[in-house]
Structures are given as C-alpha cells and as structure tokens.
Amino acid sequence: MSRKPYVREMSKTSWFLSQARYRDYILHELTCIFIAIYALIWIFGLFRLGQGPEAWQGWLDGISSPLGVVFHIFLLFFAAVHTFSWFKVVPQAMRIQRGTDFVPGNIIVGAHYGILAVVTLFVLVLAGAA
C-alpha cells in the first residue's frame, strides 16, 4: 500500500451537487426523511383517533395548520419522487422470464403505473363517496 494514498477531495455535505446522477440519487434517498415524518404523524393520528372526536379534530387542525400545509407541499413532491424512482429500477430488481426471453422492462414498469392508477382511483372514489 502506498504511504501517501490518493484521497479525492470531496465535500461531506454537498458532494451530490457535483453531478446530475448524484443529485438524482440523493433526491430519492432523501424521500425517506419525509416518509418517516409522515409515518410518525399518522401514528400520532392513530392515537388521537382512539382518544375521541375532539382529539381527532385537533390532529386534523394540526395537518391543516400553516406548517402542515408547507409540509404537504414537500411531501407531495417527495412522494412522487419515491414512486417514480422506485418504479424506474423495477426492471432490474424484477426479472420475469417467459420461455427463453425476459419480459421487456417497459411492460413491467407500465404494469406498475397501471396498478398505481387503479389503487389511486379506487381510494379517491372510496374517500370521495364517504
């Protein structure tokens, strides 16, 4: 081993700004922070739901507060980034063989978007009819 190994200089906190592919990578990795916060908000909401109508209304007031509105703007963006980036790599993770050939990646990704559309519409109709 060399006594003076070459270490490329790289910022620990802004390395992902140097290349577009790094930026895309960190963008989909950072989705987990917003997903985690949203999950915690929902766990809190489940507790409030068990405590009665007033507690639940307090939770609803919380998510529609100015802070809640700002958080939702970020959340809409990062939820879209998560779904888009996750579906993008599905062909690499899910190899489906038919006979001697593999099913083309765009068909697998298309099927995922199809299921997403069905799930989204189903829940929206269900929630809209309530």
Partner 1 sequence: MARSSKAVPWLVFAGGGTATAFILPVIVIITACYAFFGGFSAALSYETMHGFIGHWLIKLIVFGIMFLTLWHAAHRLRVVAHDFGIRADTPVAIVVYGLAAIGTLATIIALLNI
Distance in Å, CB of 110 to partner 1, minimum: 15
CA dihedral 112, 115, 116, 120 (to 10 degrees): 180
**Residue 108 touching partner 1 (CB under 8 A):** no
Binders of partner 1 among residues 23 to 82 (CB under 8 A) are 26, 29-33, 35-36, 38-40, 42-43, 46-47, 49-53, 56-57, 60, 63-64, 68-69, 72-73, 75-76, 79-80, 82
DSSP codes joined into one string, 61-98: HHHTSHHHHHHHHHHHHHHHHHHHHHHHTHHHH---EE
B/e letters for 63-82, b = 16+ CB within 10 Å, e = fewer, are: eeeeeeeebeeebeebeebb
Which residues sit at the interface with partner 1, rule CB under 8 A?
A: 12-13, 16, 26, 29-33, 35-36, 38-40, 42-43, 46-47, 49-53, 56-57, 60, 63-64, 68-69, 72-73, 75-76, 79-80, 82-83, 86-87, 93, 112, 115-116, 119-120, 123-124, 126-128, 130
